[in-house]
Amino acid sequence: MTTSPPRTQTASKPSSKAGSFTSRISLGRAMQAESANYFLLLGITLFMVVFGLVMVLSSSSVESHNDTDNFFTRFWSQGAYALIGLPLMFIVSRLPSRFWKRSIWVFLGLACFLQLLVLVTPLGVEIGGNRNWLKIGSQTVQPSEAIKVALVIWLGVVLARKKDLLAQWKHVAVPVIPIAGGAILLVILGGDLGTTVIMAAIVLGALFFAGVKLRHLAVGTAVVGVLAVIVAFSSQSRIGRIAALFGGSSAANPDVNWQIDNGFYALASGGVFGVGLGNSHSKWSWLPAADTDFIFAIIGEELGLIGALVVLILFVLLAVVFLRIIHASSDPFARVTTAAIMVWLIGQAFVNIAVVLGVIPVLGVPLPLISAGGTAMISSMIAIGIVLSFARETGKQAREEAESRGGSPA
């Protein structure tokens, strides 16, 4: 006796419903698999990226039109980099810690090799007195940003392995000085003092959170400070920037005085509520680097004190989430790497804003996740993706421990 077609069709319907129900359950479990820190960090990052794209569009529209007769040229470019950075961030957030521990030497070596190409081959490009860019076809990339990413991971791997030996200064100096110092030297040779300062801060921050003795850190900080002064006064351009900070003039780069003054004018004209999004006067060829190094001045002008405070609050929240992830993790590698990334992003934001406010000389570093700059955007999002992976692993461990104790996962 054969089975009738209607019975077969009827039997297939519950199967379809069951599959759909199973898919919904799987999606729900996938959403619940992430910790609160994961979603908080992801939300802040996405908001900052979108906010940055809006401000890049506003601050670059005039210069884009002057250069290409198109108001949206730089915005489309930055948006394309953001579209590259987003999937990379999510892919990296799925990689386990063991992947970085096994491959970090390859990544660090490749990043340093690219920086070496900048220094010794015609592919290197000099902008603003700094030879820190690599031109490949029609694209210009910044290998020092790749070194930052590799350096924070390398510091996490090495310092985690030596966690029981960090009280002895030799076990700190032997890996850090030749490897991290060598990577930083490649950037110094290109003349980029701003990136050098950030990288030095990354190393010192990683050492601090790894538990290196404070007296050893004090010596290291003093040495870095002396070297920074020597490098700062080794170039007429940098001497001029220092002079401009104190009201002098820069003969080597007179645009520095113009940039500082117009940055002040932009912030002052914004008042409390700003002149309105898109209504900046400074972006009309008055303020150089309005969409990159001095985008905070445009934010202060168009969105006022309130907009500037929102940016500061975003970076404070970012730091708080990083600290929460550090506190929740029991893996020394995750803790040190997250701390190094926190020092990088928050420290760079502090330097950028301090430059605009006239607290420190012009160093030429972008505002993370907000300023225009494709390589900087992608490297920052990859770094945050690494921290997201740590948040996922920590949340997974917490749930497994709760389930093993017979409780419900948090």
* DSSP 8-state class, residue 141: E
Give the per-residue pLDDT at 10.
Answer: 45
Determine the Cα–Cα distance for residues 212 and 166; give it in Å rounded to an integer. Answer: 6
Give the per-residue pLDDT at 33.
Answer: 57
Q: Which of 252, 171, 243 is nearest to 213 (CA)?
A: 171
pLDDT in tens, the chain (410 residues): 444 455 444 444 445 455 555 444 444 454 455 788 999 999 999 999 999 999 999 999 999 888 888 889 999 999 999 999 999 999 999 999 999 999 999 999 999 999 999 999 998 888 777 788 888 877 888 999 999 999 999 999 999 998 888 888 888 888 899 999 999 999 999 888 889 999 999 999 999 999 999 888 998 899 888 888 888 887 777 777 877 777 766 555 666 778 888 999 999 999 999 999 999 999 998 999 999 999 999 999 999 999 999 999 999 999 999 999 999 999 999 999 999 999 999 999 999 999 999 898 888 899 999 999 999 999 999 999 999 999 998 877 777 777 777 655 54
What's the helix, strand, coil split of the chain in %, to 5? 75, 5, 25
Give the per-residue pLDDT at 354.
Answer: 94
Determine the Cα–Cα distance for residues 324 and 16; give it in Å rounded to an integer. Answer: 43
Give the per-residue pLDDT at 22.
Answer: 47
Give the per-residue pLDDT at 313.
Answer: 97
Q: Which residues pair with 139 in a beta bridge?
A: 136
Find out whether 293 and 260 touch, Cβ atoms under 8 Å. no
Give the per-residue pLDDT at 17.
Answer: 53
Q: How many CB atoms lie within 10 A of CB 249?
A: 11
Give the per-residue pLDDT at 18.
Answer: 52
How buried is 342 (Cβ within 10 angstroms: 0-12 exposed, 13-18 middle, 19+ buried)? buried
Beta strands in 243-366 (DSSP E): none
Find out whether 262 and 246 touch, Cβ atoms under 8 Å. no
Whether the predicted model's global pTM rises above the 0.95 cut: no
